[in-house]
Amino acid sequence: MSVAKANLALQGLPQAWAAMRGTGGSLIVGILLLGGLFRTEAVTAVQTWDDSTAYNHCFLVLPIAVYLLWDRRGALLGLAAKPMPLVGLLGLPLAAVWLFAERLGIMEGRQLVAVSFLELLFLGVFGWRLWKAMSGPLLYLYFLVPFGEFLTPHLQDITAVFVRHGLDAVQIPAYVDGYVIEIAEGTFFIAQACAGLRFLIASIAFGALYAILMYRSPIRRAAFIAVSIVVPIVANGFRALGIVSLGHILGSAEAAAADHVLYGWMFFSLVILLLLACGLPFREDHRPDVPTASPMPDGHYARPGMFAAALLLAIAAVSPGAAMLLDRSAASDGVQLQPLTLDGGCTSTPGAPPERKRPPVGGWAIDRRLTCDDGARYDVHIVAFSPRSTAGPVLAERRRLARPIWVEETSDNWIEPEPHNWRLFVGTEEALAMAIGLWIDGRPSLGGLSVRGSMAWHSLTGGSFAPIVVSVMPVVEWEHMKPPMRNKVQNDLTAFLSQHPELVQQIEALAARP
């Protein structure tokens, strides 16, 4: 934008604000009330931004949206707020989707609906033409949602296939079993962190920002964003292939994998630079947004703006209110937990839960310490939920127990024998080992979508079994142990669980007690 046009924009801002002043108050109040309604979604999103490196960039989304709005201020000249109160009715299907996602325990779905309500608030209060002029910055707010983690297993599959065919192409002998890649120089594992999710999400967010700033044509914007999706997936395959090939060249898999995270970010930065270079020849930022000349309104839009915000907020509050009533019904349906009694020379005494095992939300907990004749001791933490509980708090409790010690390389280790009842988690940053089991509908479960659907149905109609989460942790001085002794403790833990099927039987009895 030239200096003259910039000055024109600055001169026109007071006039534009005067036109929106009547509806600006309704918008601000509406944003605050939406924030109160969807406080849980907002707090959970911020926690995810802070915990996961894949979503750290989300802290920049709001400042970027504000900058984009300022950058497009010239396009707002001549436009004025013309509220569309009936837009609030579009919140009805959104409210249904929110309740559906809440019953399924899908937080990302709830967060997407919350942002969609915010978009409808802007549309209803400001009107179509003004919303369209601000659509780029407003739609960019969807990147506030930490969405896409479900893609990790698929990205792992794509990377594994890419590496397998790549090694065949460069003629490096290898044995590939799932995510494990063995070459003569060592073994590599395509962990969840190596799937490329953080590269993919960061690339899409950056690609959308670049497309908004550099292009005016919707086709060019869509094409560049599509390229920003494909390129990091392919690039991550080359990155993984390069690390394995480097291990072959250096003669040591450990040497190649030592700084693979640094190599990954350097490679990703190079890919982004090449992507930007390819997009520069098609840039359209020399074509500024042309202000739309139109008569300014008389400013009597305060009341329609208030009605639009009030209607949308009323509809948005229906689903959280319904969920609250259902949760109260579930809370009244308590579960009585009984002490454990094990055979084979193990005694059970009350145990004090570690600090991480705070009382669960919507559940009832009991802690026992098992002392066996061979001197081994285990802390058992059992959490039972109402048969009307949704999957959200149950799976959140399992994640909360496992998160401090999660190691992706062992997160899929099932403890034999069949049927698989326990998963083994071993920590590195925090010295711990733990087995965790999840029982849904009276049987061991992975917690997939079908299970979420079943629990959602039980939350409405009632169920015959209480969802139960159980953790078993050896009581040892883990941090002072050398690796061989740690391996022995892990083996003893798996042997203990395999040799005491009555523990599983008692858990199943607790689940069936309601």
DSSP H or E segment with residue 366: strand 363-372
CB 156 within 8 A of CB 195: yes
Average predicted confidence (pLDDT) for the chain: 79
The pLDDT of 250-266, averaged and rounded, is 66
CA 82/CA 94 separation, integer angstroms: 23
- 263 pLDDT band, cuts 50/70/90, is low
CA–CA separation, 386 vs 275, rounded Å? 51
- Coil, strand, or helix at residue 127? coil
Round to whole Å and give the CA distance between 308 and 320: 20
Look up tokens 């199943």; give the residue: 508
Could you tell me if 239 and 308 are in contact, meaning their C-beta atoms sit under 8 angstroms apart? no
pLDDT of residue 352: 60
Which is more confidently placed, 120 or 280?
120
Provide the pLDDT for residue 22: 60
**pLDDT, tens digit, for every residue of 158-206?**
988 888 888 888 888 888 887 888 888 788 878 777 778 888 898 899 9
Query: What pTM value is reported for the model?
Result: 0.79
State how far the Cα of 113 lies from the Cα of 142, in Å rounded to an integer. 10
Which residues lie across from 471 on neighbouring strands?
A: 381, 436
Burial class (CB in 10 A: 0-12, 13-18, 19+), 439: buried
Local confidence band at 24 (pLDDT 50, 70, 90 cut-offs):
confident
| 8 Å CB contact between 203 and 233 | no
End-to-end CA distance of the chain, in Å?
A: 69
Match 């024109």 to its residue by tokens: 8
Q: Give the pLDDT band of residue 319 (cuts 50, 70, 90).
A: very high
User: How many other CB atoms sit within 10 Å of the CB of residue 92?
Assistant: 11
Residue 68 has pLDDT above 80, yes or no: yes
Question: Between residues 510 and 130, which one has the greater pLDDT?
Answer: 130
Q: Is the pLDDT of residue 247 over 90?
A: no
Give the residue, 278 or 33, on which the prediction is more confident: 33
Q: Which of 30-34, 61-65, 256-260, 344-348 has the lowest mean pLDDT?
A: 256-260
Residue 3 in this model has a pLDDT that exceeds 80:
no
β-strand partners of 177: 180
Question: Which one has a higher pLDDT value, 18 or 444?
Answer: 444
DSSP state of 124: H
Whether the per-residue pLDDT at 11 is higher than 50: the answer is no
In terms of Cα–Cα distance, which of 347, 379, 386, 343 is closest to 363? Answer: 386
Grade residue 295 by pLDDT with cuts at 50, 70 and 90. very low
* Cα–Cα distance list, 339 to 175, 382, 498 (Å): 48, 10, 20
Task: Give all strands (DSSP E) within 386-464, no chain letters.
Answer: 423-426, 433-440, 443-444
Helices (H), 215-259: 218-250, 253-257
- What is the pLDDT confidence band of residue 430, given thresholds at 50, 70 and 90? low
Give the pLDDT confidence of 374-421 residue by residue, as tens digits.
788 888 888 888 888 888 888 888 887 776 554 443 444 455 444 467
pLDDT for 213-243, tens place per residue?
888 888 999 999 999 999 888 888 888 888 8
